[in-house]
Amino acid sequence: ERVTDKAREMRQYQGKPISTDGPLVARYRDKQLTIERGTIVAGGSRLDISGTLPLEEGGPAGTIKVDTRIDLASAMEYVPLDQPVTAQGTLLIQGTITGTLKRIDPNIAVSLENGYIDTAQLNPPLANINLQAQVQGGTVDIQKLYADLGPASITASGEIPFSLLPA
């Protein structure tokens, strides 16, 4: 069965608008979810998604393509927080997720350019944050992480297995 959301139908989260850019076209058939085209817009951020994902084990693996651009300044308006956070920069998340709903295998590139984060607890703020990372093969490979913390600079790279991350 095919489901098409009305174009540009507005929803809200945290009192802020979320909409689709054109129809959200998806169908469920033979225990698979297929998204022909889906674009979700919130503030200055955008998520484009398409592909097929089996919802049960035993069938062929599917592939979901993800292309996301998050404007951190406007995205913070959607995050419920006890303390205010000021953030700037553009976070890009691009790649594919293959497998099934119970066993996913991401191949995702993550980058952040000109990031900035300030909270009441963070003094001085993190500035000039730049990140390039790859999520694949059960690890997060941080290729480059750089940030300024007042007069200090932070640089990092390395590989973090998913098994070390909190569940």
State the pTM of this model. Answer: 0.84
pLDDT in tens, the chain (167 residues): 444 444 445 687 777 888 888 888 889 888 888 999 899 998 899 999 999 988 877 778 899 999 999 999 999 888 888 888 899 999 999 999 998 877 888 999 999 999 999 998 888 999 999 999 999 988 999 999 999 999 999 999 999 888 876 66
On whether the CB atoms of residues 20 and 8 are closer than 8 A, the answer is yes
* Pairing relationship of beta strands 25-29 and 139-149 according to DSSP bridges: unpaired
- Which are the contacts of 128, defined by CB distance < 8 A and separation ≥ 6? 114, 115, 116, 146, 147, 148
On whether the CB atoms of residues 53 and 64 are closer than 8 A, the answer is yes
Task: Supply 114's token pair.
Answer: 């000109």
Q: DSSP letters along 15-69, please?
A: TEEEEESS--EEEEETTEEEEEEEEEEETTEEEEEEEEEESSTTS--EEEEEEEE
On whether the CB atoms of residues 25 and 37 are closer than 8 A, the answer is yes
